[in-house]
Amino acid sequence: MFTILIVVVVLALIFDYINGFHDAANSIATVVSTKVLSPFQAVLWAAFFNAIVIFLCQYKVLGFEFKVADAVAKIVTTDAIDLWVIVAGLVAAIFWNLLTWWGGIPSSSSHTLMGGFAGAAVAKSGLEGLADVGTIYLTASFIFLAPLVGMILAYIITVIIINACKKANPYRADKWFKKFQLVSSAAFSLGHGSNDAQKVMGIIAAAFLVYNAELKKEDIAHPEWSRVDKEYQFDTTYYAIADEQLKEVTIDGTAFIVGTADQFGVDGALYTDKGKAVKKNLVRSDLMVDGRVMTGAPASEYVTMKEIKAKGKITSIPPWVQYACFIAIGLGTLSGGWRIIKTMGTRITKVTPLEGVAAETAGAVTLYMTQLLGVPVSTTHTITGSIIGVGLSKRISAVRWGVTVSLLWAWILTIPISALVAACCYWVISIFV
């Protein structure tokens, strides 16, 4: 099992590297097409900000709280999958990413990863393998919402800049916007790095949770290097630990479930190790039973631990995983992605330095907003929508809609095709293992 875990980690980092050069175009397409930087300078610039974002995130400068990683990790039910499911999902994601890169199609690496993960889980356990269908629906909806938000923001930003600079000297304004584009492309690279690296962290975290669960079944303590901490929250009002130790008593005609105070835990706390669970608005009553002070909840509203479902969120991932993911995506970006850069930088619409600033700023703002909300969106979709937005600010015909429609079809097909390829991979793997 340890060997398979190593395979998962290696495949995940390979995917992260491919994600870097596949999505490098997102960060540098406009800055290259406007000739602000040469292609080599641009990939160095983007890779640098992809990698150093880890330091900004760890100090919460970018609101880094593993929200995106958590959303990816809980797509599937940990109890319903094994490490081979994750292997199949990663193989499918790598295959689709390389295929679309070869064709110069700026598809979503994020959706490729999530589609592969979900498809392999369904192949093993059916629809029960999907833990958070709501996240899948939300992510799928952002196939359309992310580019739409980017497009609207880019259009607004472009119009504001044009009106603010209408009396400026064109030559001097162009010179200034070339400098501003360095800042806006760096901001987008930060958003790209923090958003996309988290998705791979989520996959590795899911693998660690599966691995540690298997060790627990064998009564083996999990190693510190694979520790993933989760915090659980519950929606039910009343619950307690050690149900068999509690008593049911009737006082003044009302049935109570009672126990000592430590059996109910501490009001407002969250416990994950010993099955304890309480909610901040827990109501308790002090009762005397058999001469002892007991804590109780009305039996009509009390729920046992077996009847409630916890909502867990990842609060900690091993630091070495974080560094490895950010370094891998940075190295991938450093390798470039020239086939897709041409599509993003010139085929959708012609972009000036002013419009490059607007597109990259709109894309960065969209990525930061969705990251704070914990929505794993596509950086590809986001920047494409932003580029369309600056094109619309000139005229509708400035956008090459034929190219845009082709990209949309690729986006729609990414999740189902990745899921199907992953399912096939898992079925093949299951024959031999």
Q: Which residues pair with 76 in a beta bridge?
A: 130
338's torsion region: left (phi>0), alpha (psi -120 to 50) or beta?
alpha
Question: pLDDT tens-digit profile of 115-128?
Answer: 899 999 999 988 87
Burial class (CB in 10 A: 0-12, 13-18, 19+), 125: middle
What pLDDT does 5 receive?
95
The secondary structure of residue 223, as a DSSP letter, is: P
* pLDDT reading at 89 higher than 50: yes
State the Cα–Cα distance between residues 96 and 396, nearest whole angstrom. 32
Domain regions of the chain by residue span: 2-218+319-432, 235-308
What pLDDT does 276 receive?
42
Instruction: Mention every residue, 6+ apart, whose C-beta is less than 8 A from residue 188.
Output: 26, 27, 360, 361, 363, 364, 367, 379, 383
Instruction: Mention every residue, 6+ apart, whose C-beta is less than 8 A from residue 22.
Output: 97, 100, 101, 109, 332, 337, 340
Question: pLDDT tens-digit profile of 374-401?
Answer: 777 877 788 888 888 888 888 777 676 6
State the Cα–Cα distance between residues 295 and 285, nearest whole angstrom. 6
Cβ atoms of residues 413 and 397 within 8 Å = no
Q: Which of 88-102, 119-133, 235-249, 393-407 has the lowest mean pLDDT?
A: 235-249
- pLDDT band for position 425 (50/70/90)? very high
